[in-house]
Amino acid sequence: MLADWLRSGLSSRRVTTTYPYGKEANPIHRNWRTVPVIVSACKSTMPCRCGDFCPTQAITCPDGFAVQIDVGSCIGCGRCVNLCPQVFAWSGDVTVAASGRRRLISVADGGEMARGI
C-alpha cells in the first residue's frame, strides 16, 4: 500500500494534488470511506429497525419503508454497511459538501447525493 503510493507519487512528478481540476495523479481517495450511500432500495417487507443501530440516528424510514440517510449527521461508523450491505455501501466521493442542510439527505431513488457543484 505505502510502496504503491510512493511509487505512484515519485513517478507522477507532481506531489501536489490537482483537485478540483481533472484527473488525479494519485487517485488514492477512490478507496476512502467518506460517506455511506444507499445503493438500492430496501427490500424489507416489514418495517425494519435500521435506524436503531445508527448511533446518531442518521438513518431514518419516514413512512416505514423508504430508507433515507442524512450524511450531515453520519459519523461514518460503518455499522449500516456491515449489517445491511445490500442497501448501504461506502462511497469514495469527496464532493459531498452542500449549500443547504436538506441537500445532505439522500434517499434510495437514484442513490445519488444532492450536490451543489
Interface with other proteins by CB under 8 A: which residues? 13-22, 29, 32, 34-35, 55-56, 70-76, 94-101, 103-104, 116-117
In the complex, minimum distance from the CB of residue 5 to other proteins, in angstroms, rounded to a whole number: 11
Amino acid (one-letter) located at 1: M
In the complex, minimum distance from the CB of residue 32 to other proteins, in angstroms, rounded to a whole number: 7
Q: Position of cell 484527473?
A: 23
Using the minimum distance from each CB to other proteins, give the nearer residue, 23 or 43. 23
Using the minimum distance from each CB to other proteins, give the nearer residue, 42 or 113. 113
Using the minimum distance from each CB to other proteins, give the nearer residue, 15 or 46. 15
Amino acid (one-letter) located at 41: A
- Residue 94 to residues 42, 67, 71, 97, Cα–Cα distance (Å): 25, 23, 12, 8
Amino acid (one-letter) located at 106: S
- Residue 44 to residues 24, 64, 93, 104, Cα–Cα distance (Å): 39, 10, 27, 24
In the complex, minimum distance from the CB of residue 44 to other proteins, in angstroms, rounded to a whole number: 26
